[in-house]
Structure 1
Amino acid sequence: MRLPLQDQLATRMGLRVLAIGKGSAIAPIPLKPRPQWRRLKCYAVVYVVAGGGVFHQADDVFDVPAGSAFFLFPDIPHHYGPADDAGWTELFFVFDGAIADRFRDQGLLTPQAPVVRPGVNPELIELWQHTVRCAKSSDATTDVELSAALFAVLAELFRCRRIAQPRTRKQELCEQIELAMKSALTESFFDLKGFAAEQRISYSYARRVFKETTGYTPVQFFTRAKIQLARDALAGTGENIGRIGRRLGFGDSHYFSRTFRKFTGLSPKEYRQSLSHWQSDAYWQNCGTAANKTDRR
Structure 2
Amino acid sequence: MDGSYRALSNKSLESNILFWGQENCAPNYTFKGNNVRDNYVIHYIQRGKGTFASANHSMVTLQAGDVFILPKGVPCFYQADNKEPWSYFWLGLSGIKIRAMLSDSILSTQNYLRQVQDSKFCQSLQNLFEAAHSPSSLTNDILIEALLYYTFYNLNIEYPTKRRKNSATKDEQLRAAITYLRQNFEDSSLSIIDLCNKMDLSRSYLYTLFKNNLGLSPQQFLINLRMEQAKEYLANTDNTIQEISRIIGYNDEFTFSKAFKKYSGFSPKIYRQSLTK
Structure having the higher helix fraction is 1
Largest Rg, 1 or 2: 2
- TM-score scaled by length of structure 2: 0.48
- TM-score scaled by length of structure 1: 0.45
